[in-house]
Structure 1
Amino acid sequence: MTTPVLEANGLRKSWGGVAAVDGVSLAVQAGEMLALIGPNGAGKSTCFNMLNGQIRPEAGSVHLLGRNITGLAPRIVWRLGVGRTFQVTATFASMTVLDNVRMALLSHHRRLFGLWRPAAAQFVAEAAAALARVGLAEQAGRPCGVLAYGDLKRLELAIALANEPRLLLMDEPTAGMAPAERAGLMALTARIARDAGIAVLFTEHDMDVVFGHADRILVLDRGKLIAGGTPEQVRADARVRDVYLGQSGVH
């Protein structure tokens, strides 16, 4: 059996005596889009932060391609090949779109080669290719502060991919976007992930996005996984409809 890109077993974390995550286990394969959904307070963000190293679990383990990364600092997890996007985008607003990606590439090359730096022309070429990959080639010279929000989300994806990650963690990737833009961003992400063999784990409140683009879905409620499977299996699960989707489900 192929080793999962990400495998977490029995993750637990409590806040003030209340279990935010209680025995969560999951695995994501290369090229797979796995959605982690649930109502507010279900434990999704805490789970993400344990996977990324921002929070150390009280119990359980996290493995990246078979390597134990439990409790490692986020900067180390990133260097091992984990990219992340956040619910609220964060870029250098006064810098150009191209230079934001060049900053990520500089860090990536230091990870690979230590203090060696490629020639400036190589950086520009790599950054331009990254922007073309997400449909932002024509925006390269614009300051980030003037971009539309949907373009900022695409730029954040380009920055995360500059690390050539094996795993991409996406926390509500379409939050704040116009409905017409959401499907486009997730279709782009899925295409890149499958072409490059990147495992993607994402949280999302837009159920059209989840059921339209996830290969599998896991459902959290009060820190515990209550269901998992294909979109069709999760849509038909009575407990999921009761605690999250509503009786009508998602069509």
Structure 2
Amino acid sequence: MSSPVLEVSALTKHYGGVHALDGVSFSIARGELLALIGPNGAGKSTCFNIVNGQIRPDSGRVRLAGRDITGLAPRHIARLGVGRTFQVATVFASMTVLENVQMALIAARGQVFGLWTAARHRGHGDALALLEQTGLAAFAARPAATLAYGDVKRLELAMALAGDPALLLMDEPTAGMSSDERQAMIALVRQLTRARGLAVLFTEHAMDVVFGHADRVVVLARGRLIADGSVEAVRDDPAVRAVYLGGASITLSQTP
């Protein structure tokens, strides 16, 4: 069995008397899509931001492919092979879809150019390949400002993949989408996870996305990990139903 891409060990973070995280541990393997869920205030964002380097834990460690990255700055963590998308997608609206991905490639490769005209042909083929993988090749020449919201999220994904990450962090990847858009987006992420051998950690409030597509689910409540297992095990866990979902009144059906 290969070593985990990401190992989170006994993470603890306190804000005064509030235990945002209390000894949380889990790992993610190559090719695995792991959902991190929990009610508001469970500690998801704190955990996510510690992994990304935006917050330093009070104790505990974060390791990427065996390397301790605890407390490193986000830019250093990105260079070591961590990509990220955000709940509210941000792209360069005035640039074309292709140019957005080219800029992401230039940044990932540490290339610096004084003028965009000197850089616009850099990474053209690689940018087109990423657009092909994310279903946006037909929109390459369009200004990003003209894209539908679901396509903006796909563009952000293509940009996050520009650094060829080993680990991809996705904060609410389907937020603001319709049901059909949600399913298409997470199916694309799952496909890329397998094809590229990514490890993906994502937070999500839409249970149809979580229980229809995740390989494994980690559940937090009040800063503590209360469940870590397969979709089926977590879906049927009484503690998850009681603490996170408010009992049996919510049906956790798996999307076909």
TM-score by length of 2: 0.93
1:207 matched to which residue of 2?
207
Post-superposition offset of 1:16? 2.7
Classify the secondary structure of the residue corresponding to 2:244.
helix
The equivalent of 1:230 in structure 2 is 230
Deviation at 1:120, TM superposition (A): 5.5
One of 243, 249, 252 as aligned partner of 1:250 = 252
Residue pair 2:83, 2:165 contacting (<8 A) in 1 also: yes
Find out whether 1:23 has 2:23 as its counterpart: yes
SS of the residue corresponding to residue 240 of structure 2 reads helix
Question: Where does residue 81 of structure 1 map in the other structure?
Answer: 81
Residue in 1 that maps onto 2:13: 13
Task: Check the 8 A contact 2:11/2:61 in 1, yes or no.
Answer: yes
- Show the counterpart of 1:106: 106
> Percent sequence identity over matched residues?
61
Secondary structure of residue in 1 paired with 2:109: helix
- The letter of the residue matching 1:63 is R
| Matches of 2:103 and 2:17, distance apart in 1 | 41
Cα distance in 1 for residues equivalent to 2:119 and 2:93: 25
2:107 alignment partner, SS class:
helix
Tell me the secondary structure at the aligned position of residue 34 of structure 1. Answer: strand
| 1:33–1:214 Cα contact (<8 Å) kept | yes
1:222 to 1:105, Cα distance in 2 relative to 1, 3 A: same
Equivalent position SS for 2:30: coil
Q: Which amino acid aligns with 1:50?
A: I
SS in 1 for 2:142: coil
Confirm or deny: 8 A CA contact 2:102 2:122 kept in the other structure: no
Q: Which moved more, 1:208-217 or 1:12-21?
A: 12-21
Instruction: State the match for 1:139 in structure 2.
Output: 139
CA distance in 2, matches of 1:35, 1:249: 18
Root mean square deviation, CA, Å: 1.6
Look up the equivalent residue of 1:242 and give its one-letter code: A
Query: C-alpha distance in 2, partners of 1:109/1:244?
Result: 42
Could you report, residue by residue, the CA deviation over 1:67-89 in whole angstroms, capped at 9, with x for unpaired residues? 00000000000000000001011
Q: Distance in 2 between matches of 1:128 and 1:70?
A: 34
Which residue identity does 1:185 align to in structure 2? M
After the TM superposition, which residues 120-159 of structure 1 pair with which residues of structure 2 at under 5 Å, given as runs? 121=121, 123-159=123-159
2:36 equivalent in structure 1? 36
The answer (yes or no) to whether the contact 2:9–2:25 under 8 Å persists in 1 is yes
Q: Does 1:95 align with 2:95?
A: yes
Partners of 1:115 and 1:89 lie apart in 2 by 24
Gaps of 5+ in 2: none
Distance 1:52 1:121 in 2: 31
Indicate if the aligned counterparts of 1:12 and 1:23 stay in contact, CA closer than 8 A.
Answer: yes
CA contact (8 A) 1:235 1:249 kept: no
SS in 2 for 1:165: coil
Q: Is the Cα contact below 8 Å between 1:241 and 1:249 reproduced in 2? A: no
Show structure 1 runs of 5+ residues with no match: none
How big is the shift at 1:17? Answer: 2.3
Per-residue Cα deviation, 1:11-59 (whole angstroms, up to 9, x for no partner): 0111232111111101000000010100011110110000000001110
Q: Flag as ranges the 4+ runs of structure 1 deviating above 2 A.
A: 118-122
Q: In the aligned structure 2, how far is the partner of 1:159 from the partner of 1:120? A: 15
Question: What is the distance in 2 between the residues matched to 1:86 and 1:76?
Answer: 18
The number of residue pairs the alignment matches comes to 247
Offset, 1:168: 0.3
Give the partner amino acid of 1:68.
Answer: D
Mapped to 2, the partners of 1:132 and 1:237 lie a distance apart of 40
Once the two structures are TM-superposed, the CA of residue 243 in structure 1 deviates from its matched residue by: 1.6
2:220 counterpart of 1:220:
yes
- 1:198 is matched by which residue type in structure 2? L
Give TM-score scaled by structure 1 length: 0.95
Greater shift in the superposed pair: 8-17 or 19-28: 8-17
Report SS of the residue matched to 1:162: helix
